Chain A
Amino acid sequence: MSRVGLVTRRSFLLGAGLAAGGLTLGLFGDEASAADPPAPGALGPGLAPNVMVHITETGVVTIVCARSEMGQGVRSSVPLLVADELGAVPERVVVVQAVGDKKYGDQNTDGSTSIRKFDDKLRRMGAVARTMLVSAAAKQWNVKPDTCEAIDGAVKHAASKRSLGFGELVKAAAKLPVPDEKSVVLRPWAELRHVAKERLPLLDGHAIVTGTGAYGADIKVEGMLYAVVARPPVVGGKIAKLDKAKALAVPGVKKVFEMPVPGKPWGHQPWGGVAVVADSTWAALKGRAALEITWDHGANAVYDSAAYETKLLASVRAQGTAHRTVGDVDAAMGKAAKVLEAEYLVPHLPHLPMEPPAVTAKFDGGACEIWAATQNPQLARTEVAKVLGIGEDKVTVRVTLLGGGFGRKSKGDFSAEAAFISREAGAPVRVQWTREDDLKNGYPNTVSAQRLRAGLDDKGRVVAWHQRTAFPPIGTTFGGPPEPSINDLQQGVLDLALDVPNIRSEACRAEPHARIGWYRSVYNIFHAFSAGSFIDEIAHARGVDPRDAWLEIVGPARKLSLEDLGIPKLANYGESLDKHPVDAGRLRGVIERVTAMSKWADRKTSGRALGLAAHRSFVSYVGVVVSVVRDERRKVRVDEAWIAIDAGRVVNKDRVHSQLEGAIVMGISNAMLGGVTYKGGIVEQPNFRDAKIARIGDAPRTIHTDIIASDAPPGGVGEPGVPPVGAACANAIFALTGQRVRRFPLLAGVKV
């Protein structure tokens, strides 16, 4: 029988700060890929010039993956990049998952950063080890290091046809001083032999298809109990009255206790409520159902999505704080031959990872060990330490596979909650969130209204662009003010390339009543929806091809300075504008590519209803075309989609393609079906019956993906595919039905 997830010394107690058994790179999911992890205690003697790379005297290379795997393929990509820089043979590379520890640098797997922020740093880790191996060989042969080459797990000297395996060099190399990582020379990108190939194996593929991969809920430790929590349905709610008797009477229920009441701001704190600890998940669930609780819902019980919409619209109908100003919008609107305006609404969008949060915690003797499906193990460590009142050095956070994350699992709440429950229960505990918990007690994307106005001159050219955006920013979850900041507006408002002489973009207030958080591509979802729909509306109002309108409004290929954009600064996803400029040429590039791929120009003759949109986010550029049809049941659905990305250099092409495919489907869920609403402060869609996401029949039969070849520094990949999908769908629906739907879920607004 499978012992997956059962914590054994082999699989988890690796010491040396490493977690999770190793798998070798380079194999196509053969069972042999489930190679034994390195021996417990440490990785043994060898060459370990930094925290990421270790080479044994037998030539086994261990590379640490410090980022969380949640479907983006990071474990199949990042270690390979290091291995490639080193010159290792993938079959002899073992990947181990890091615990949460600052020594690995930032581990928050969020914001589409794993490659764009770390590719240089990671490669340098491999290059340092390579430099030392090469120096050791050169010394032994008495030749110049630059006449040697590290390739296929050995250092070779071509002139004398000599070769020494990495393992043979480890002893001598380990005696050399470790070179400064900034001083080592990286291989030219084109010389990397494995990354950037069309098809790379999936490190965890075999484990996934055989059911042996360990996710958050698959960990079992000796003496473990199972828990669920009855959390207040409204954020900030409290227990008014509690009767535990019936719950305690359920066979298997061991303990029932109240959780700490969180104070404002909610941040990463557990949500409060009542924990039920039992000897099985089922008993815990039955115990929870038997609890008699009267809730005091608190101040957020006023939250009612229908009424709130009126407030949001009122907010964008009044003046906000201008963060982007070019020319004089008011004067230009006054002189315009025609003024168009439109308002767009996007509801809260839930993450709905297929795996709801699940954590195992073991509090013992003043220390705590956590096994969590977390995107951010360092934060989990901090939050666990905080809730237990112990030092972070007493907390170990081990990262399992994540059954999807999408931003939900970058929060610390569920890890801290499990730690608290383990301490109170006096036993190791696995806390399972149900789908209802996930929907009601999560951190959904925020809710927004947008108001756009365009002034056109007598030739139809856009001479004024005025945008207002209202949404409670995520900062409110952490105590910030209820108005989007200039940094929030980086997401698709300030960095929108416009060839328009008069521009004003304003942020408008919106009070939060939910605990909102970041969800894959975040504010870009609604900013790309409104701008992308509005450009299409302008095109139709003028009677021009939407593609031509896009290219005209974006303007000629050029890099836009802060002055061109009319902004004092741009957060730019933490990147400098020199490295990652706002490049209208690249935005045009994806529009041109995706319209060529989809045979946009032939759409009239082929009788297809196509919609186009494009967007820059996470310093990458994406263009999307979707085709919609009305099927036999008169249901409107996307039957085919095309998506092109310019993300600069990419490491793992197949995983980029798969991220884009996934982005189309998630974008369809968001736009066509998605969103949750609140009544009395409570999410009205408690499970997949009402909280709809795309099923196989809602997803296009064919998704065409393309990666624009580029030498530019890497941009994000995980998130940028999502934002343009919403407007592409709305624009395609307009092409099919003549109906302009300006709110998600689009399907609710189409009359068929």
Chain B
Amino acid sequence: MSIKLRVNGVERTLDVDPEMPLLWAIRDALGLTGTKYGCGEALCGACTVHLDDQPVRSCVTPVRRAVGRAVTTIEGLSPDGKHPLQQAWVELGVPQCGYCQAGQLMTAAALLKAKPKPTDDEIDQSMAGNLCRCGTYTRIRAGIRKVAGGQP
């Protein structure tokens, strides 16, 4: 079945099962592999993308639900890889293996858009769905604080 999606500002047409999770559609059909699989059950956040600025877990979002909405993946978070969070992440050396970080960045970007100066508790609440097995949480928090204009 033919599905039309707007991904990172570009119209794309895919021939996939409308029930296919958005995760596999963007990874396998569109070749955008920055969005990661970690659990498939909305438990880890590795697959986080934005649907109209809202962070969603693409592993449990059927691709049909994205029709008519703007899908943003890590590849489209900024045109040049210079979103303030991306810069902060590199400067503070946030990533270890990096596998969770696309999801962390997408969740953090949505948080800051909704709440430019989050408290530590608000950071913890918003980021609670994003696991990092390497344990980069203190630096993730520092990165968000830095962009929010506080102390890293």
Q: Could you list which residues of chain A lie within 8 angstroms of chain B, going by C-beta atoms?
A: 1-6, 28-29, 31, 69-73, 199, 202, 204-215, 217-218, 220, 226, 251-252, 280-283, 352-356, 401-406, 432, 434-435, 654-655, 658-659, 661-666, 687-689, 693-697, 699-703
Contacts and interface: CB of A to CB of B under 8 A. Distances in A.
B74 interface: yes
A696 B81 contact: no
A355 to B, nearest CB: 5
B97 A282 contact: no
Interface in B104-152: 105, 120, 123-125, 127-141
Contacts, number: 212
Main secondary structure of the interface of A (DSSP, over half): loop
Contacts of A432: 37
A701 B31 CA distance: 37
A520 to B, nearest CB: 10
A353 B133 contact: yes
Interface pairs A-B: 3 shortest CB-CB: A211-B34, A665-B135, A403-B99
Interface residues of B, number: 65
A207 B34 CA distance: 9
A696 B130 contact: yes
Nearest to A430: B28
A592 B8 CA distance: 53
B134 A689 contact: no
B11 interface: no
Contacts of B89: 205, 208-209
Contact of B134 (A1, A212, A662, A700): A662
Contacts of A1: 10, 30-32, 75
B34 to A, nearest CB: 2
Given A211-B33, A354-B132, A435 B38 contact: yes
Interface of B: 10, 16-17, 20-21, 24-25, 27-41, 43-44, 46, 73-75, 77, 80-81, 85-86, 89-91, 93, 95-102, 105, 120, 123-125, 127-141
Given A2-B34, A354-B36, A401 B133 contact: no
Given A208-B98, A282-B21, A355-B97, A2 B31 contact: yes
A354 B124 CA distance: 19
13 contacts: A4-B33, A202-B90, A218-B33, A226-B28, A282-B25, A354-B36, A658-B136, A661-B139, A664-B135, A687-B39, A688-B41, A695-B131, A699-B137
Contact of A689 (B43, B80, B129, B140): B43
B135 A72 contact: no
Nearest to B10: A1
B43 A210 contact: no
A401 B134 CA distance: 14
A205 to B, nearest CB: 4
B131 to A, nearest CB: 6
Contacts of A218: 33
Contacts of B77: 210
Given A1-B32, A71-B96, A211-B102, 20 more contacts: A1-B31, A2-B33, A5-B31, A73-B96, A208-B101, A209-B85, A209-B89, A209-B95, A211-B32, A211-B34, A213-B98, A281-B28, A353-B99, A655-B93, A658-B96, A658-B136, A661-B136, A663-B135, A696-B140, A701-B120
Given A353-B133, A696-B141, A700-B138, A72 B96 contact: yes
Contacts of B137: 665, 694, 696, 699
Nearest to A205: B90
Nearest to A279: B28
A67 to B, nearest CB: 14
Given A71-B97, A354-B46, A696-B128, A281 B138 contact: no
Nearest to B33: A218
A73 to B, nearest CB: 8
A666 B134 CA distance: 7
Contacts of A699: 135, 137-138
B151 to A, nearest CB: 12
A281 B26 CA distance: 11
A694 B135 CA distance: 8
B146 to A, nearest CB: 14
A212 B140 contact: no
Nearest to B121: A697
Given A280-B24, A355-B99, A697-B128, A31 B81 contact: yes
A209 B90 contact: yes
Nearest to A31: B81
B27 A206 contact: no
A70 B97 CA distance: 5
Contacts of A226: 28
Contacts of B43: 435, 687-689
Contacts of B37: 217, 281, 356, 432
A724 to B, nearest CB: 15
Contact of B24 (A282, A662, A663, A702): A282
B147 to A, nearest CB: 13
A725 B138 CA distance: 17
A658 B81 contact: no
Given A251-B17, A280-B16, A696-B137, A402 B31 contact: no
A252 B17 CA distance: 10
Most chain A beta carbons < 10 A, residue from B29, B33, B125: B33
Contacts of A207: 98
A211 B120 contact: no
A355 B38 contact: yes
Contacts of B124: 696-697
A430 B135 CA distance: 28
Given A205-B89, A666-B133, A703 B28 contact: no
Contacts of B140: 696
B39 A435 contact: yes
Contacts of A2: 31-34, 75
A428 B35 CA distance: 22
Given A664-B135, A665-B137, A208 B75 contact: no
Contacts of A404: 96-97, 99, 133-134
A71 B31 contact: no
